[in-house]
Amino acid sequence: MARPCFKIEKDFPEPLAGVDEAGCAPLAGPVVAAAVVLDRTKFPRGIDDSKVVPVKEREAICARLYKVAKVGVGIASVEEIDRLNIYWARMLAMTRAVEALGFDPAWVLVDGNRCPRWERPSKAIVAGDAKCRSIAAASIVAKVTRDRIMAEHAREHPGYGWETNKGYGTPEHYGALDRLGLTPLHRRSFAPVRAIHEASQPPLQGSFEMAASTGLEQMLEL
């Protein structure tokens, strides 16, 4: 199977930034985006969609990118995810990633079907991390960065398996939620987490009184 290349990038002016994110689907942790501007004459071998690159190779490519490319990283917190929703938090993280480059690229290619609401020349590329080398490079940086963040959080909140599942809804993670409950890093706007959160909340005293009053009225009507 063909790896991402510069075919798409060649239609756009340089410097060109590829942008991608990691961590939209997990139940816990931030969403992380990266922006990468590659030197087309000097870049790491093996750049591909981060999902198909083995962990050790991904780490090595990421380290090399920081040496030979321009890299920016943007993060949207759990609180921002819950306040904005994951779609807009993703857009916020990508915006921050481009801003973190420290300069304005001539063009930005974004993985997905829409670009953030920014005033900069850009284009969304569906499945861009499998087609476009710059976006694929960004996917590697975003994935490696988020995985490291979740490994650190795993030490702070042991038992959920974040060092391996990275906050995704695995059986191990769901089992820990049943045993240990929620942490501040769980996304309460996500339906499975929200259901657990709501189930753990005691009913308001007023609801007990209302239920009792309603029940008494119904009995009297009988």
Question: pLDDT averaged over the chain?
Answer: 92
Whole-structure pTM value: 0.90
Q: What pLDDT, in 10s, does the model give residues 74-105?
A: 999 999 999 999 999 999 999 999 999 999 99
Query: What count of residues does the chain have?
Result: 222
How high is the pLDDT of residue 208? Answer: 40
Q: What gap in Å lies between CA 162 and CA 160, rounded to an integer? A: 6
What is the rounded average pLDDT of the residues 54-60?
Answer: 98
The CATH superfamily of 9-191 is Ribonuclease H-like superfamily/Ribonuclease H (3.30.420.10)
How high is the pLDDT of residue 217? Answer: 42
Confidence of residue 155 (pLDDT cuts 50, 70, 90): very high
Measured at the alpha carbon of residue 183, what is the angle toward residues 178 and 185, in degrees to the nearest 5?
Answer: 125
How high is the pLDDT of residue 153? Answer: 98
Q: What gap in Å lies between CA 124 and CA 122, rounded to an integer? A: 7
How high is the pLDDT of residue 201? Answer: 76
What are the extents of the domains in the chain? 9-191
Q: What pLDDT, in 10s, does the model give residues 158-192?
A: 999 999 999 999 999 999 999 999 999 999 999 99
Buried b (16+ CB within 10 A) or exposed e, 17-33: bbbbbbbeebbbbbbbb
